[in-house]
């Protein structure tokens, strides 16, 4: 049942931007919060500029919030300059920690740790790389960050710059999809997705893995 206060609230839109490429991205290597924190590559910097131009042309973003990791902050700062906004950092948006799997490809992990990989793919409660972060823990902190943003920027459009696991998690939660759906979403480097959160507590995924703004870079 909707209350009067719920129906009077506006829609808050989170525009979800995966950071631009790093040297590890083209090789599809696991790059979480427990690794080397790589910077954007030259391609990644050009991608961030392209995102900034596109968002500035739309003129709807009113705030920029980023993961604390370098590749996300660099992407956010580049876009924010185009938007004339400051970057706010939220630690809950950092990437998952993949433990000893950091820097490896999926194929390398499957070859070296087949049973651990199978368990990780099967259960969000499994620990990656022996010391990494469970997807259940990522979901909790991503949801807390989402709730902070919705309270702080009610009725506005916010650019959220983060990483593939966190952004997939936010989309999964909006859809009410099972954890296994995390492995069934493609979120390319510097891609844009969007989730609208309505005053009645519902959420709508309005965009997924849009890379049209990168067409001139290909």
In the block, residue with structure tokens 């900034």: 52
**104 or 35: whose pLDDT is higher?**
104
Q: What is the mean pLDDT of residues 166-181?
A: 96
pLDDT for 9: 62
Q: Taken in order 118, 143, 68, 205, is the CA torsion positive or negative?
A: positive
18 membership: H or E segment, kind and range: strand 12-18
Per-residue pLDDT band at 10 (split at 50, 70, 90): confident
Q: What is the mean pLDDT of residues 68-74?
A: 98
Q: Which positions are catalytic?
A: 19, 95
DSSP 140: H
Return d(Cα 62, Cα 100) in angstroms, integer.
38
pTM of the entire predicted model: 0.94
Return d(Cα 23, Cα 11) in angstroms, integer.
37
**10 or 189: whose pLDDT is higher?**
189
Q: What is the mean pLDDT of residues 73-86?
A: 98
136 membership: H or E segment, kind and range: helix 135-152
Q: For residue range 13-32, what is the model confidence (pLDDT) as tens digits?
A: 999 999 999 999 999 999 99
Q: For residue range 128-160, what is the model confidence (pLDDT) as tens digits?
A: 999 999 999 999 999 999 999 999 999 999 999
Which CATH code of 3.30.750.24, 3.40.50.1240, 1.20.58.220, 3.40.190.10 fits the domain covering 4-217?
3.40.50.1240
What is 37-85 written as a DSSP string? -PPB-HHHHHHHHHHHHHHHHHT-EEEEEE-SSHHHHHHHHHHHHHHT-
Beta bridge partners of 61: 157
Q: What end-to-end distance do the CA atoms of the chain give, in Å?
A: 49
- Going from N- to C-terminal start, the domains of the chain cover 4-217
Percent residues over pLDDT 90 in the chain? 92
pLDDT for 152: 97
Return d(Cα 196, Cα 170) in angstroms, integer.
11
Residue 198 confidence (pLDDT) above 90 = yes
Residue 217 confidence (pLDDT) above 90 = no
If phi > 0 it is left, if psi is from -120 to 50 it is alpha, else beta; for residue 157 that is beta
């Amino acid at each position: 049942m909707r209350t009067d206060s719920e129906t009077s609230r506006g829609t808050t839109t989170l525009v979800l931007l995966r950071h631009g490429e790093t040297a590890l991205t083209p090789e599809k290597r696991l790059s979480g919060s427990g690794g080397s924190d790589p910077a954007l590559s030259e391609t990644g910097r050009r991608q961030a500029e392209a995102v900034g131009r596109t968002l500035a042309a739309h003129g709807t973003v009113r705030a920029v919030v980023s993961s604390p990791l370098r590749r996300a902050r660099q992407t956010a700062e580049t876009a924010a300059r185009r938007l004339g906004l400051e970057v706010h950092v939220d630690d809950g948006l950092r990437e998952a920690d993949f433990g000893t799997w950091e820097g490896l490809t999926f194929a390398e992990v499957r070859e070296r740790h087949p049973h651990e990989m199978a368990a990780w793919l099967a259960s969000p409660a499994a620990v990656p790389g022996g010391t990494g972060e469970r997807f259940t823990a990522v979901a909790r902190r991503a949801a807390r960050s989402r709730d902070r943003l919705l309270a702080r920027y009610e009725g506005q459009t916010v650019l959220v710059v983060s990483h593939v696991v966190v952004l997939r998690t936010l989309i999964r939660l909006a859809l009410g999809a099972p954890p296994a759906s995390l492995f069934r979403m493609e979120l390319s480097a510097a891609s844009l997705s969007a989730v609208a959160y309505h005053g009645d507590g519902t959420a709508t995924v309005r965009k997924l893995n849009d890379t049209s703004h990168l067409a001139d870079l290909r």
